[in-house]
Amino acid sequence: MKYSISPTTTTPKALLKQLGVKEKPKAVWFAYPMATFVTPEQYNDEMEITAREVVSYGADECMAHALWDVCEDLRTSTDCTCTFGHEGGYQIVTILGDICSKKGKPQDIALLRDLAPVMQTQALCGEGRALASAVLQALDLFGPEIEAHITKRSCPSGGCPAFKTYHILVSKCTGCGKCLKACDDRAIMGKAKFVHVIDQRKCSQCDKCREVCPEGAVVRAGAKKPKTPPRPIPCRRK
C-alpha cells in the first residue's frame, strides 16, 4: 500500500501507526531521495524521513515484484540519459520483469550484482545511483525470496500474478462441465457429475474457468495451494 507523507523525524513504527497500517509489514520502502527498504528490525529506530512517499509490503506481497516497481519508478522519474543510469536502469528493470514473469534465468542474480555497483559509481543522476543501491539492498535483504522465482520456479509470497495457479475445489464442484467448455487450452479434465481437475502443465492462467463457474469452485492460489485430486473423482455435491 502506497502513502503520501511529509518529511519528519520519527520511527517507522510510529509512522505506520499514524498511517493506519494495522498488520506489521514485512518491509517498507521510503521513496527517493531516501530510496531505502526498511525491515522490521529497524521499525523502532528513529530516523530522519525525507521521502514524500512510503510503501508498506504485507506478507502476501512479493519483494521481487516490489523491487521491480521501485526500480521502474526511479527509472522513469528522471530525464537523465547517461549510459549507466538510463541503459543500466532499463536492463535492471527488464531482468526484474523477467524474474517476476517466470522468465528468470540462472545468471540473472549475478548479472544484477555485477551491473548495480557499476551504476552506483557511474550513473550521473541521483535516481540512477539510488536504483542501483536499492537493487543491492534488496538482494541482501530478500535474496532467497527473489532467487526462488528462478531456482524453484515459485513466488514464495504468492504475490506475483504469473506464478499463481488455478485449482478446482472438491468441496464445491458439482461437475456441471461449464469450465471444461470454456477452457481453450484443454487444460481441464472431467465428465458429468465428476469433480473437474486442472492440468497445470497446460493451464495458461487465462481465468475463463473461474469466470464461468457458477459454484465458485475454481480458485486462484499463490504460495499455499489447495489439495486437489490428480484425476476427476465422483462429486460429493449434487
Strand ranges inside the chain, DSSP E: 2-4, 8-10, 27-30, 36-38, 47-49, 53-57, 165-168, 188-189, 194-195, 197-198, 218-221, 233-234
Q: Kindly report the backbone phi and psi dihedral angles of residue 218, in degrees, each rounded to the nearest multiple of 5, phi listed first.
A: -95, 125
* Residue closer to ligand SF4, measured from CB, 63 or 188: 188
Choosing from 112, 208, 222, 228, the residue that interacts with ligand SF4 (CB under 6 A) is 208
Choosing from 43, 205, 221, 223, the residue that interacts with ligand SF4 (CB under 6 A) is 205
**Number of H-type helices and E-type strands within the chain:** 7, 12
Joined grid coordinates for residue 175: 461437475
CB of 169 vs ligand SF4, minimal distance in Å: 8
CB of 199 vs ligand SF4, minimal distance in Å: 8
CB of 150 vs ligand SF4, minimal distance in Å: 23
d(CA 67, CA 54): 14
Q: Kindly report the backbone phi and psi dihedral angles of residue 86, in degrees, each rounded to the nearest multiple of 5, phi listed first.
A: -75, -55
Please answer whether residues 44 and 138 qualify as being in contact, where contact means their C-beta atoms are separated by less than 8 angstroms: no
Question: What's the per-residue H, E or C state across 135-173?
Answer: HHHHHHHHHHHHHHHHHCCCCCCCCCHHHCEEEECCCCC
> How large is the C-alpha radius of gyration of the chain?
22
- Binding residue count for ligand SF4, defined by CB under 6 A: 29
Should residue 204 be labelled a site residue for ligand SF4 when binding is judged by CB under 6 A?
Answer: yes
CB of 103 vs ligand SF4, minimal distance in Å: 19
* Mask for 166-185, x = binds ligand SF4 (CB under 6 A): x-x----xxxxxxx--xx-x
Which residue type, as a one-letter code, is found at position 106? P
Q: Which stretch binds ligand SF4 (CB under 6 A): 21-29, 95-103, 117-125, 199-207?
A: 199-207
Should residue 206 be labelled a site residue for ligand SF4 when binding is judged by CB under 6 A?
Answer: yes
Choosing from 16, 27, 55, 213, the residue that interacts with ligand SF4 (CB under 6 A) is 213
Residue numbers 48-87 binding ligand SF4 by CB under 6 A = none
* Residue closer to ligand SF4, measured from CB, 46 or 211: 211
Joined grid coordinates for residue 56: 508498506
Strand partners, 214: none
CB of 160 vs ligand SF4, minimal distance in Å: 16
CB of 215 vs ligand SF4, minimal distance in Å: 4
Choosing from 10, 101, 215, 223, the residue that interacts with ligand SF4 (CB under 6 A) is 215
**Binding-site ranges for ligand SF4 (CB under 6 A):** 166, 168, 173-179, 182-183, 185, 187-188, 190, 196, 198, 203-209, 212-213, 215, 217-218
